[in-house]
Amino acid sequence: MNEALNIAGQTLVLHRHPRRRNETLQAWDSADEYLINYFNENELDKYITEDEQLLILNDGFGALSCFFNEIERTVVSDSFLSISSIKLNLQRNRCETERIIIQDSLQEMTNNVKVVLIKVPKTLAFLEYQLQELSKVINKDTIVVAAGKVDAIHKSTLALFEKYIGTTKTSLAKKKSRLIFSLVDQTEIIEKEIATTWEIERQGWKIHNHANVFSRNHLDIGGRYLMDNLPEGNFIKVIDLGCGNGVVGMAAAEAYPDAQITFIDESYMAVDSARINMLKNFEEERSDNTRFVVNNGLVGFKERSYDLILCNPPFHQQHTITDHIAWAMFNDAHFCLAVNGELVIVGNRHLDYQDKLERIFGNCELVAENKKFVILRAVKMQ
């Protein structure tokens, strides 16, 4: 796996974080290269005056943040893992931290923007949210350039740029990526609520979902299956790992009224959605017995400290399908569970999580199954 990006006169050493042994995926893609080369060849830096800056949205692992080290810039991401990667790669390449501000996607965008570089996100609703927020801080002189894989740029993608920014066109494809150019000429933008709210009738819960939350328009069927198969027991310290909008942790709060529930996700929008949903649907006394953490899984959590961990693990990172996040979650769970503590997960039948859990825990029980999902239980033995 290549760790050195040689581009436009710079050599950057870049890693994905968390780092893995025998990593097969590099920390940048052809869309990063396309954006960097376009910016450099067209000398976009000359348009950025002393009191203006570059805005970078959705830098995956730091290629853009590191390359533009000489420019005042703000970098926005909804991913804890991306932000961690950016910070570590800035250190690795000895970049000056005085010229960069890194913020999560729920913070207000800076309003002194001259050039905007966007990596097109996987979720269309999240793109719409970002473009709507961007439209509030740009003007007719702002340069907006986006990039993404060809198969991730659709008519609906371009329609959002037209709606919130202005006249939009695309480049030719290079190495399976394409640029999007938007001229800022849209003046009649009617702001809309991008977040969604829907009800889980059985519990009578109103569920709030920010734009970048998985299954934002309805209850995820895997999550529902896990909610219906919670283990019986007197659990006191419970984690909803990869919580999304928090519905599994909420079901745990209902099933185990004395438990302390910790909601964890690497998405800032997901954790904030879980926080909002606990506040909206539970009495204040119950919501006070909860914690909300944006984190890389259970990194930094205490060993042998939890009774039950519930998990609906993701099998992709950004646009890449991978099982290493699930592996990390299962290993973290084994570390953090007390003796006789339980990990209960839901997964698609074809993902073979049972073998992974057997290897980590030394045991794995099939709790329930249907045509699409399995519920698996592993116990920390020592």
> pLDDT tens digits for 145-199?
999 999 999 999 999 999 999 999 999 999 999 999 999 998 778 888 999 999 9
> pLDDT tens digits for 229-266?
999 999 999 999 999 999 999 999 999 999 999 999 99
What pLDDT is recorded for position 72?
A: 96
pLDDT more than 70, % of the chain: 97
What pLDDT is recorded for position 319?
A: 44
Q: Is there a single domain that holds both residue 177 and residue 229?
A: no
What pLDDT is recorded for position 1?
A: 61
Q: Is there a single domain that holds both residue 82 and residue 227?
A: no
- Domain end: 155, 183, 211, which one? 183
Question: How large is the average pLDDT for residues 35-50?
Answer: 96
Q: Is residue 190 part of a domain?
A: no
Q: Is residue 188 part of a domain?
A: no
Q: Is residue 212 part of a domain?
A: yes
Q: Is there a single domain that holds both residue 37 and residue 87?
A: yes
Q: Is there a single domain that holds both residue 209 and residue 169?
A: no
How confident is residue 323, by pLDDT bands cut at 50, 70 and 90?
low
SS (H, E, C) the chain: CCCEEEECCEEEECCCCCCCCCCCCCCCCHHHHHHHHHHHHCCHHHHCCCCCEEEEECCCCCHHHHHCCCCCEEEEECEHHHHHHHHHHHHHCCCCHHHEEEEECCCCCCCCEEEEEEECCCCHHHHHHHHHHHHCCCCCCCEEEEEEEHHHCCHHHHHHHHHHCCCEEECCCECCEEEEEEECCCCCCCCCCCCEEEEECCCCEEEEECCCCCCCCCCCHHHHHHHCCCCCCCCCEEEEECCCCCHHHHHHHHHCCCCEEEEEECEHHHHHHHHHHHHHHCCHHHHCCEEEEECCCCCCCCCCCEEEEEECCCCEECCEECCHHHHHHHHHHHHHEEEEEEEEEEEEHHHCHHHHHHHHHCCCEEEEECCCEEEEEEECCC
Mean of pLDDT over the chain: 93
Looking at residue 286, which CATH number applies to its domain? 3.40.50.150
Q: Is there a single domain that holds both residue 176 and residue 243?
A: no
Q: Is residue 189 part of a domain?
A: no
pTM of the model: 0.94
Q: Is there a single domain that holds both residue 24 and residue 170?
A: yes
Q: Is residue 191 part of a domain?
A: no
Q: Is there a single domain that holds both residue 312 and residue 203?
A: yes
- Domain end: 183, 217, 238, which one? 183
The yes-or-no verdict on residue 318 having pLDDT over 80 is no
Q: Is residue 274 part of a domain?
A: yes
Q: Provide the domain limits for residue 331.
A: 196-379
Q: Is there a single domain that holds both residue 21 and residue 69?
A: yes
How confident is residue 315, by pLDDT bands cut at 50, 70 and 90?
low
Q: Is there a single domain that holds both residue 44 and residue 91?
A: yes
pLDDT more than 90, % of the chain: 85
Q: Is there a single domain that holds both residue 108 and residue 204?
A: no
- Domain end: 145, 161, 183, which one? 183
Q: Is there a single domain that holds both residue 206 and residue 176?
A: no
Q: How many domains does the chain have?
A: 2
Q: Is there a single domain that holds both residue 174 and residue 205?
A: no
